[in-house]
C-alpha cells in the first residue's frame, strides 16, 4: 500500500511542530479512543477496524514524496521534516478485541508513546475505527434479525472504492457470510458471492436464452434472477433451464414477503424443494426482521450496511488522558468542555457477568497509573483489553485474514453474552450500563 502518513489533518502536524519547538513533544503520553454515546436507538456497538489500524501502522511513514510536498506547501518547517523523515511508531497499544461489543465511555483503544509519535495517529485511527465500527454495528443488527439465515454484503457500488473493501471486511466481522467485493475477498480471505444482474437477462433476446446461457456456463447450482419480467414465469423458465437441481432464485423487487411464499410454493410443487430463495432490494435490519416468517434462505444487503444503516459514524474521539509531568510520572489530564467532558488517567476495562454468563455491567477501571496497569479481574468479571502493539511491534494475531477470523469469533461470543433483549431493534437505552471500578 501507499504511505498512510498524509491521511491526516493538518493540525496534527502543526501541533507536532509547536511541541517539538517547546520541548514537550517527547513527553510520555496516553491517548484513549472512546465514544460518549451510542447512536440513537442503538443498544450496543461493535468494535471493527482494529486489524486495519494495525496494518496501516506499518505504512505510516513519511517518504521523499510526502516530505517534499509538506516542504513545498510550507505545512511544517525543517526541524519537523527531519523528525518525520525518521518517524516510526515505537509505542504500545491495548484495546478491545476486534468484534467485541462496546458501550458509552468504553476505552476502546489506549495508545501510549511520546506525544510526537502518538498525536499524529489520531486522524487515521478515528477514520478507520469510526467507519468500520459503524458498519459492523449495523451489520450485527442485521445478522441478529436474520437469526440463522445468512446475510451477504453487496454494497460496493454505494461506497468509495476503498470504503467498499473496509465495509465488506467489517460486515463479515459482524457475521455476514460473504461479500460481492473481490478485492475484499483477495485481501482478507473472505468468501465472495454473485452471479448475474438484470443487465444479463436484458442482453439476451428472451429470458429463456439468458437462463440457459447462465446455467451452461455456471452450472445448475447457480442463482437465477427471476424478477426481470414476471416472477412466476421467471421461476418456470429457471426450472426449465436448470431443472429441480437449481441452486437458488433471487428476488430483487416487489413485496418480498408475499413473493417468497408464492415462489416457495411454486418451487415445491415442481419438486425443487432444495432450491433456495435469496432476497435483495434495499434491505436493512427492519426489513430483514419483517421477513422472519417468510420462506427466505438468505439476504443480500447493500446500501444500508455500507452506510451504517442510518448511523454512518460512531462518534469516537481520540483524547489525551495522561501525560508525563515534571516529576517524570504520568499525570491524568481531562477535558471539561460542556457536553464534551473526558475522564482523566489511564483506564482498563472489564465486563461483569451474572450467574447466567450474561453481561450486567461494563466496568471502567480507574485509579493510580500503576494500579490500573496491574489490575486483574476477579470472579465474575472478564477483562476486555488485549495487547495490540508492544514497543512498535504489532501483534500479528489481529491483522490480515487471521485477524478477521478472530474478530468474527469474538463478535459471536460477545453478542451471545449480552443480556436478553439487547438485540431488540426498537429504540432503547444501552443494553449494559457503564460503571466505575476504582483500584489502588
- Which of the residue ranges 91-95, 325-329, 352-356 would you say has the lowest mean pLDDT? 325-329
Residue 125 near residue 111, CB atoms below 8 Å: yes
Q: How far apart are CA 232 and CA 238, in angstroms?
A: 10
pLDDT score recorded for residue 102: 98
Residue 385 near residue 96, CB atoms below 8 Å: yes
Question: Cα-atom radius of gyration of the chain, to the nearest Å?
Answer: 25
Name the grid cell of 233: 414465469
- Whether the full predicted model's pTM is greater than 0.85, yes or no, is yes
Q: Which of the 8 DSSP states describes residue 159?
A: S
Residue 240 near residue 266, CB atoms below 8 Å: no
**Per-residue pLDDT tens digits for 191-213:** 999 999 999 999 999 999 999 99
Mean pLDDT value across residues 419-424: 91
For residue 1, what pLDDT band results from cuts at 50, 70 and 90?
A: low
How many CB atoms lie under 10 A from the CB of residue 198? 14
Residue 119 near residue 89, CB atoms below 8 Å: no
CA distances from 49 to 35, 167, 168 (A): 15, 9, 11
Look at residue 347 and tell me whether its pLDDT is greater than 90.
yes
Fold of the domain built from segment(s) 10-136+311-434: nicotinate phosphoribosyltransferase (3.20.140)
How many CB atoms lie under 10 A from the CB of residue 186? 11
Look at residue 426 and tell me whether its pLDDT is greater than 80.
yes
Question: Which residue ranges make up each domain of the chain?
Answer: 10-136+311-434, 195-296
Name the grid cell of 73: 506547501
Look at residue 265 and tell me whether its pLDDT is greater than 80.
yes
Name the grid cell of 88: 516510526
Q: How far apart are CA 198 and CA 227, in angstroms?
A: 8
Task: Indicate if 195-296 has the same CATH topology as 10-136+311-434.
Answer: no
**Per-residue pLDDT tens digits for 159-193:** 999 999 999 999 999 999 999 999 999 999 999 99
**Length of the chain counted residue by residue:** 440
For residue 2, what pLDDT band results from cuts at 50, 70 and 90?
A: confident
Name the CATH code of domain 195-296 (choices 3.20.20.70, 3.50.50.60, 3.40.50.300, 3.30.530.20): 3.20.20.70
Amino acid at each position: 500500500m501507499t504511505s498512510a502518513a498524509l491521511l491526516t489533518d493538518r493540525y496534527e502536524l502543526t501541533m507536532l511542530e509547536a511541541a517539538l519547538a517547546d520541548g514537550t513533544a517527547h513527553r510520555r503520553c496516553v491517548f484513549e479512543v472512546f465514544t460518549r454515546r451510542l447512536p440513537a436507538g442503538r443498544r450496543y456497538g461493535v468494535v471493527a477496524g482494529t486489524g486495519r489500524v494495525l496494518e496501516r501502522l506499518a505504512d505510516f511513514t513519511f517518504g521523499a514524496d510526502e516530505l517534499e510536498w509538506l516542504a513545498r506547501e510550507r505545512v511544517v518547517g525543517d526541524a519537523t521534516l527531519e523528525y518525520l523523515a525518521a518517524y516510526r511508531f515505537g509505542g504500545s497499544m491495548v484495546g478491545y478485541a476486534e468484534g467485541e461489543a462496546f458501550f458509552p465511555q468504553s476505552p476502546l483503544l489506549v495508545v501510549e508513546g511520546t506525544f510526537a509519535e502518538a498525536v499524529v495517529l489520531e486522524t487515521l485511527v478515528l477514520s478507520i475505527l469510526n467507519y468500520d465500527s459503524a458498519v459492523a454495528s449495523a451489520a450485527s443488527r442485521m445478522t441478529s434479525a436474520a437469526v440463522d439465515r445468512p446475510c451477504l454484503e453487496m454494497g460496493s457500488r454505494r461506497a468509495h472504492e476503498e470504503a467498499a473493501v473496509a465495509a465488506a471486511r467489517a460486515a463479515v466481522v459482524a457475521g455476514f457470510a460473504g461479500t460481492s467485493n473481490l478485492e475484499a475477498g483477495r485481501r482478507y480471505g473472505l468468501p465472495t458471492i454473485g452471479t448475474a444482474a438484470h443487465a444479463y437477462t436484458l442482453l439476451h433476446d428472451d429470458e429463456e436464452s439468458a437462463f440457459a446461457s447462465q446455467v451452461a456456463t455456471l452450472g445448475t447450482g447457480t442463482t437465477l434472477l427471476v424478477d426481470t419480467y414476471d416472477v412466476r414465469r421467471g421461476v418456470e423458465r429457471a426450472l426449465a433451464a436448470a431443472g429441480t437441481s437449481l441452486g437458488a432464485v433471487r428476488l430483487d423487487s416487489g413485496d418480498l414477503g408475499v413473493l417468497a411464499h408464492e415462489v416457495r410454493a411454486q418451487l415445491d410443487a415442481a419438486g425443487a424443494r432444495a432450491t433456495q430463495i435469496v432476497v435483495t432490494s434495499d434491505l436493512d435490519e427492519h426489513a430483514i426482521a419483517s421477513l422472519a416468517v417468510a420462506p427466505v434462505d438468505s439476504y443480500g444487503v447493500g446500501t444500508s450496511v455500507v452506510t451504517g444503516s442510518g448511523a454512518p459514524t460512531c462518534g469516537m474521539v481520540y483524547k489525551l488522558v495522561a501525560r508525563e509531568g515534571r516529576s517524570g510520572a504520568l499525570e491524568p489530564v481531562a477535558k471539561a468542555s460542556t457536553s464534551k467532558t473526558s475522564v482523566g488517567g489511564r483506564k482498563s476495562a472489564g465486563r461483569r457477568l451474572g450467574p447466567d454468563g450474561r453481561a450486567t455491567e461494563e466496568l471502567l477501571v480507574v485509579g493510580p497509573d500503576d494500579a490500573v496497569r496491574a489490575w486483574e479481574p476477579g470472579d465474575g468479571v472478564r477483562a476486555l483489553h488485549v495487547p495490540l502493539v508492544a514497543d512498535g511491534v504489532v501483534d500479528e494475531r489481529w491483522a490480515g485474514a487471521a485477524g478477521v477470523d478472530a474478530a468474527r469469533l469474538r463478535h459471536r461470543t460477545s453478542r451471545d453474552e449480552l443480556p436478553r433483549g439487547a438485540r431488540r431493534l426498537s429504540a432503547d437505552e444501552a443494553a449494559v450500563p457503564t460503571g466505575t471500578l476504582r483500584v489502588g
